[in-house]
Amino acid sequence: MLDSAGTRRFVAAFTLTASMAFLASPARAEPPRGKPVQPEPAETAALQALTKGLKGKIIWSTSRDGNHDIYISNIDGSDAKPLTKGPKTDWFSHFSPDGKRVLFTRSKLDWTIETDANYPERWDTWVINTDGSDEKILIPNSTWANWTRDGKSILYSRGSKVFKCNPDGSGETLVDDADTQVKGALAQHPTLSDDGKFLALTLRGSGRETGILNLETHKYFTSGGGCQFSFFPNSHRCIRVNETGIGGTSIFAFDLKPDGTHGKIDGGEIDGKSIVFMDMPGRRSHEYFPRLSPKGDYLIWGITQKGHDHDIADYEIYLWKIGDAPEKAARLTYHSGNDRWPDIFFE
């Protein structure tokens, strides 16, 4: 046991060590407010050609007001305005299947980085109507929440565990514990196939991979690297970000076999067939946050020209009609702040 003098020496040494560690820690970058950017005539023409006749809304998380709020606009990016506002970090927003509500993740403290999503006690899941009314907390201590496509459930993460609940937040049930698939893993971006057979996961923590859990057989299949795995509607066809491409990333698309596995991915191919779904030509080609439209006929996602950091890099939101040439994709946002995690709803 330490005497009083020994205790004082221990406390002083501990305090000095902690202070030195704090001072040695890198400063956390603040989100950029940025400023509006003027589109080029060719960009305006491409946007008008793609969105002509389309009616609906898009939502995304943006730092343009000094932290990260959820913004809402018309499909062509016009009439953009904040749906949420405040000092917290609001991100990972999704329309309800009927387009009337928006589910999003909000930090408990002021501006918080995305990688802290691994700590569910720092976040809550909130819901708000698309007209800005009835904003309320729905699922405490949770991240990565999204509606199932039929709107009957919400899927979300807490650390290694994936849960499902009713749309009002009641009836929580455990779907999976990723720690049983990969020891020490944390579950991100969980997505169910529409028939409920497969759970797509991005795993972080002790390892970095994507995978598919067959919920009928409880067998897990490692898909490879990358992140942000999700399904086409009414299908076992998947998309995910891969860490290869013109700008260092691209988006893959491929079909699962009946057991939830797929062939070996080799150089952007499976069984000699290309699975590169989108690899945007040009200098702005570092791609993340892919989201399929409700019918699976459009892709909305973020692309940056330089940098990678999901919180501060100048990602812009793009829209592409699936099947068109990649060059026909159109830029929706023109702002040098950080724009990320979009979703789209068609009227």
Does residue 121 lie within any of the structural domains? yes
Q: Domain tally for the chain? A: 1
Task: List the domain range (segments joined by +) for residue 179.
Answer: 49-346
Q: Tell me the pLDDT tens digit for each residue of 68-124.
A: 999 999 999 999 999 999 999 999 999 999 999 999 999 999 999 999 999 999 999
Phi then psi dihedrals of residue 273, to 5 deg: -110, 135
Contact assessment for residue 224 and residue 217, using Cβ atoms and an 8 Å cutoff: no
Contact assessment for residue 189 and residue 182, using Cβ atoms and an 8 Å cutoff: no
Does residue 235 lie within any of the structural domains? yes
Does residue 203 lie within any of the structural domains? yes
More confident residue, 234 or 1: 234
- pLDDT over 80 at 277, yes or no: yes
Does residue 248 lie within any of the structural domains? yes
Q: For the residues 239-265, what does the mean pLDDT come to?
A: 97
List the CATH number of the domain containing 79: 2.120.10.30
Does residue 18 lie within any of the structural domains? no
Phi then psi dihedrals of residue 256, to 5 deg: -90, 150
**Strand pairing of 339-346 and 101-110?**
unpaired
Does residue 39 lie within any of the structural domains? no
Does residue 315 lie within any of the structural domains? yes
Does residue 252 lie within any of the structural domains? yes
